Amino acid sequence: MPMFSGCENHRFDSDKRQIIAKNEIENKLQRPHGFDVTTFREDTIYIQNDSNFKKQIRYSLDIEYLDSNKVLQKKKGIVMFAPDGQSVINSKITDR
């Protein structure tokens, strides 16, 4: 019977959130041609003014894709997760 440690479970959750964050941003752009994530970062953010989610998990993705005019775009995607790491609170795309 295989044994799994808590560390492996945390890594699995992190990998799952990474995929969710990538899909969230890609879908927001309506699946652009040449979509690629060039860097990825996970942070825990403490929000003082938010009574619902004081601690949030932020995923920051540097992304590249071709727009409808075939021009390479370099942007940053930010996806905020609830403290449980299961639910997306919001997402946005900004300039780098």
pLDDT in tens, 12-28: 788 999 999 999 999 99
Q: What pTM was computed for the model? A: 0.82
The CATH architecture to which 6-95 belongs is Roll (3.10)
Q: Which of 45, 35, 25 is nearest to 91 (CA)?
A: 25
Q: Which of 73, 5, 84, 89 is nearest to 35 (CA)?
A: 73
What mean pLDDT is predicted for residues 33-53? 87
Contact 21, 89 (CB under 8 A): no
Poorest-pLDDT segment among 5-9, 43-47, 52-56, 91-95: 5-9
- Spell out the domain ranges in the chain: 6-95
